[in-house]
Chains A and B, each alone.
Chain A
Amino acid sequence: MNTRRQFLTHAAIAAGGLFCTTRLAFAGAAPAGGGRRPRLVLIVMRGALDGLAAVPPYGDRDYASLRGEAALRAPGTPGGALALDGFFGLHPSLAFLGQCYGARELIVLHALASPYRERSHFDGQDVLENGTPRPHALQSGWLNRALAHLPGMRPREAGVALGQNVPLVMRGPAAVTSWSPSKLAALDDDTLARLTDLYAGDALLAQRLADALAADAIAAEDGADMRSPMAAGDAARPRGANNARYAETVRAAAGFLRREDGPQVAVFDTSGWDTHANEGGAQGQLATRLAGLDAALATLRQELGPAWRDTAVLAVTEFGRTAAINGTRGTDHGTATVALLAGGAVAGGRVLADWPGLAPRALYQGRDLAPTLDLRALLKGMLAEHLGVATRALDEDVFPDSGRIRPLAGLMRA
């Protein structure tokens, strides 16, 4: 039986939501600054990522039997997981993230969950994004509210959503924009001037038009890099097309973020994580999706260039999946899962997990990986250390009534 104590060296221990280890001290929110311009990319993985497949705990004695033929083998075996810390591995499709781990630029957080404890994707995503414990409690998102509290001067549009519309996590009081490549001709200047007049009496459209122009101006300066070589896909596309779309999206994200005067925060969605049937193991459906994510992150790093050093990339999902494989070689909706925090600004090379184990009694409601880490602890720690958002703003506004959820400290390089 693996004991919790074994993980003390590389894990922060949650005790009533309180984190303390020898290595990780509570920092007062370290202010961002010193000329550094932090960048953040948030990737929302919609559909509930199987954390036990993305980061298999091959060292857990119950893991292989729960997963049956889909279980990933230990590192060093054919098709085996990539080595992390001797207990957890990375799915073999995540080669770039494996390199990040080796370069101490990746923190894997496991057995983590938002405060949501039901199993609806849509309510789960709402909680993931709105930053409260309850679905539909707010019509704005934690990331936008955090932007509203960024210290110092910031550009008018501090955040950009890659896509036509803005996901809930990025909606709110701070001005943000959205951008996606267009196959249509740019708007004529005279028509634009007239539309600006026509929208003067319409607050929503006036704001959106101004935001769109701001994003387009950056994209135009950036030139061909942000234009897609891919046509907007057809229906019934071959499988690789989704991955090409991610690559296109991260190129655009990098185009915005690497500037010194553009948005500091970018967000985009990925989908296809809802693997109820034929999920696969080292290869298969989920492996293809993970490979696409991994390739996108590699592209992001390459495109960001020197700005990677000041970047954190956070990938999160609404909840996890059942610990056991189901009757159709997939997994159903679960509870705890993983989050991945990568980037040059991350103090990585660690797995943070207070591992609850996968023994039958340890499972949440007898079926899911039990949550031992509140997602908000991660988000608060990252926002405090990376973007310099003040503790009080985090406790009261960004994550309302979350004072008892202490931020994880030491996530970012000093």
Chain B
Amino acid sequence: MSEPFSSAIAANRFGLGARPGELDAIGSGGRDWLRAQLAGAPPQLAGAGLRSSTDILAEALALRRELQAARKADAPGVAAADPLQRLPQLLRPIYASEVTARLQQAVTSERPFLERLTQFWANHFAVSIDKQFLAGLAGSFEREAIRPHVLGNFADLLLAAETHPAMLLYLDNHLSVGPHAPAALRAARRDPQRRIGINENLAREILELHTLGVGGGYTQPDVTTFAAVLSGWSIGGEGGRFRGGVPGQFLFRPELHEPGAKVVLGTRYRDDGFGQGVAVLRDVARSRATAQFIATKLVRHFVADEPPPAAVARLADAFHSSGGDLPRLYHALLETREAWDGGLAKYKTPSDYVLSAYRGLGLPADAAHAPLAPFELLGQRTWSPGSPAGWPDRSADWDGAAALMKRIQWAQALGERLGSRCDAVALAPQLLGANLGSATRTALAHAASAPQAVTLLLAAPEFMRR
């Protein structure tokens, strides 16, 4: 490690951006500061309005049934706009509470490396609020399925993510029915025209996006068979054919599950219902291809857009040889020499940019200060990647002209809000450390006003990157 950069790299590249005083406290011990953050259980979020996903989903499902019944009865008291409005009225405040709690945690955390890792995994197992109910579930998904497992084993993280109602809803598995499952056979006897059967969305994305990666050696028949394995992974409390179970909770429905032993990726799995899918997940979690895929993504996130192959190989070995032990993987990452050179190799995502500004300037992150707005204005509305691949992680995905202009305009608005309360000249070395260059130093020193200096600091090339 080149020592002068140790603290800036630890706080800005691995963490979520330096807070005043943090770089001094870290000194030349960047790696130790990060290692210490991996000890102890991950903190649980607290905050007003945070509810369990079961609670939220049960209420949303009940509301949907009510709306459907009203529509069917053409009940006169139900205004036409109601069905469109009442679900958002339920879900939107939940989303706002979750984003606020997540922001507050990110801004105040003494373990920002852990928070970045949590966000990394939430994006790896991405859900997106543009699908029905997900605006109300994306936050609880991250709190319940991701956060508790970030310092655990990948196989446990994987199972928690794939059995969470948010993921099952997002990738349509809750309605998937094996073609020879009891429910399908019954339905076919009643109405031969009506097809019910498999939906392969979740199975495909598990293999492509969550474990093996797109070149990871699976075929279309593997996808189809794996989807049959996962049939019956569902949610309690849906109506009609899907009644029963605890509303809003994961439910394995044997009557929807395709019976029989199945071969996925060359391995035969006997049918023991829910356990069949668990066994496939356990095996793909341990696959060499998964190790390679996860290592590549992690190195891309922390080292460079084009991951150095040697670094990827070291991380893949750590992942594979430890059986998916995530702290071992993170320690291997911290040992990666390439991550510690002084270059600002990563262009910040809008979220990175906003969080680092909040931490650096000590901005209030409570509900009274419009905590959702900066993410929306700068083009990365929280939990809305729009696709199960999650947000992209390369400079070219984020460095558009309009995107840059919005960052600068937002920086200007912050500068005007803070006025002379903020001394950007004094703050710059505290936020950028050894990365602070002479051009920026000079520009700040010659700024026409305190607000302008804040704008220039946040718009500086060194602050655009990490």
A interface list, Cβ under 8 A from B:
46-47, 68-69, 118-123, 135, 139, 161, 163-166, 168, 171, 177-180, 182-188, 190-191, 194-195, 197-202, 204-205, 208-209, 211-212, 215-216, 232, 234-239, 271-272, 274, 276-277, 324-328, 330, 332-333, 365
User: Which stretch from B284-292, B324-332, B396-404 is at the chain A interface?
Assistant: B396-404
Tell me the bound Cα distance from A121 to B379 in angstroms: 22
Assess the A197–B461 pair: CB atoms within 8 A.
Answer: no
Q: Which of A212, A232, A330 contacts B405 (CB 8 A)?
A: A212
Assess the B405–A216 pair: CB atoms within 8 A.
Answer: yes
Cross-chain pairs A/B with CB under 8 angstroms, 28 sampled: A68-B194, A69-B194, A118-B214, A119-B220, A122-B214, A122-B389, A163-B400, A164-B400, A165-B397, A177-B402, A178-B403, A187-B408, A190-B448, A190-B452, A205-B464, A209-B401, A209-B404, A209-B408, A211-B401, A212-B402, A212-B405, A215-B402, A235-B129, A235-B384, A236-B91, A238-B84, A328-B176, A333-B200
> Taking each of B184, B400, B440, B446, which has the highest tally of chain A beta carbons within 10 Å of its own beta carbon?
B400
A171 partner residues in chain B, CB cutoff 8 A: 396
User: Which 6 residue pairs across A and B have the least CB separation, nearest first?
Assistant: A327-B197, A165-B400, A236-B135, A184-B409, A211-B401, A212-B401
User: Chain B, 186-215, contact with A by CB distance < 8 Å: what is the 0/1 string?
Assistant: 000000011111111100100011000010
Q: Which of A122, A180, A201, A235 contacts B387 (CB 8 A)?
A: A122
- Using CB atoms, name the residue of chain B closest to A367: B220
A326 partner residues in chain B, CB cutoff 8 A: 195, 197-200
B209 partner residues in chain A, CB cutoff 8 A: 122
Assess the A328–B175 pair: CB atoms within 8 A.
Answer: yes
Assess the B456–A194 pair: CB atoms within 8 A.
Answer: yes
> Taking each of B214, B397, B406, B443, which has the highest tally of chain A beta carbons within 10 Å of its own beta carbon?
B214
Tell me the bound Cα distance from A163 to B200 in angstroms: 32
Tell me the bound Cα distance from A69 to B140 in angstroms: 36
B184 partner residues in chain A, CB cutoff 8 A: 327
Assess the B199–A330 pair: CB atoms within 8 A.
Answer: yes
Assess the A180–B402 pair: CB atoms within 8 A.
Answer: yes
Given A184-B410, A276-B172: A165 and B403 interface contact (C-beta under 8 Å):
yes
Tell me the bound Cα distance from A191 to B449 in angstroms: 10
Assess the B409–A187 pair: CB atoms within 8 A.
Answer: yes
Assess the A208–B406 pair: CB atoms within 8 A.
Answer: no
B179 within 8 A of partner (CB): yes
- Using CB atoms, name the residue of chain A closest to B395: A204
B464 partner residues in chain A, CB cutoff 8 A: 205
Tell me the bound Cα distance from A325 to B389 in angstroms: 24
Tell me the bound Cα distance from A3 to B20 in angstroms: 74
- Using CB atoms, name the residue of chain B closest to A180: B402
Tell me the bound Cα distance from A239 to B88 in angstroms: 11
- Using CB atoms, name the residue of chain A closest to B382: A235
Distance from A44 Cβ to chain B, minimum over Cβ atoms (Å): 12
Assess the A327–B195 pair: CB atoms within 8 A.
Answer: yes
Q: How many residues of B contact A (CB 8 A)?
A: 74
B446 partner residues in chain A, CB cutoff 8 A: 194
Q: Interface of chain B, helix or strand or loop or mixed? A: helix
Tell me the bound Cα distance from A197 to B460 in angstroms: 11
B386 within 8 A of partner (CB): yes
Excluding A164-B402, A205-B461, 10 further A-B contacts by CB distance (< 8 Å) are A46-B386, A184-B413, A194-B456, A198-B439, A198-B456, A209-B408, A211-B401, A276-B171, A326-B200, A327-B196
Assess the B387–A46 pair: CB atoms within 8 A.
Answer: yes
Assess the B92–A272 pair: CB atoms within 8 A.
Answer: no
B372 partner residues in chain A, CB cutoff 8 A: 235
Assess the B396–A199 pair: CB atoms within 8 A.
Answer: no
Q: Which of B129, B386, B396, B400 contacts A271 (CB 8 A)?
A: B386
Q: Which of A123, A232, A234 contacts B92 (CB 8 A)?
A: A234
Assess the A191–B402 pair: CB atoms within 8 A.
Answer: no
Distance from B216 Cβ to chain A, minimum over Cβ atoms (Å): 11
Assess the B461–A202 pair: CB atoms within 8 A.
Answer: yes
Assess the B199–A120 pair: CB atoms within 8 A.
Answer: no
A194 partner residues in chain B, CB cutoff 8 A: 443, 446-447, 452, 456
A333 partner residues in chain B, CB cutoff 8 A: 200, 204
B130 within 8 A of partner (CB): yes
> Taking each of A171, A179, A235, which has the highest tally of chain B beta carbons within 10 Å of its own beta carbon?
A235
B95 within 8 A of partner (CB): yes
- Using CB atoms, name the residue of chain B closest to A234: B92
Assess the B397–A182 pair: CB atoms within 8 A.
Answer: no
Tell me the bound Cα distance from A188 to B136 in angstroms: 39
Given A182-B405, A208-B401, A277-B175: A69 and B193 interface contact (C-beta under 8 Å):
yes
> Taking each of B177, B372, B455, B459, which has the highest tally of chain A beta carbons within 10 Å of its own beta carbon?
B459
- Using CB atoms, name the residue of chain A closest to B403: A164
B377 within 8 A of partner (CB): yes
Assess the A328–B443 pair: CB atoms within 8 A.
Answer: no
B163 partner residues in chain A, CB cutoff 8 A: none
A215 partner residues in chain B, CB cutoff 8 A: 401-402
Given A183-B377, A184-B413, A188-B412: A277 and B403 interface contact (C-beta under 8 Å):
no
B381 within 8 A of partner (CB): yes
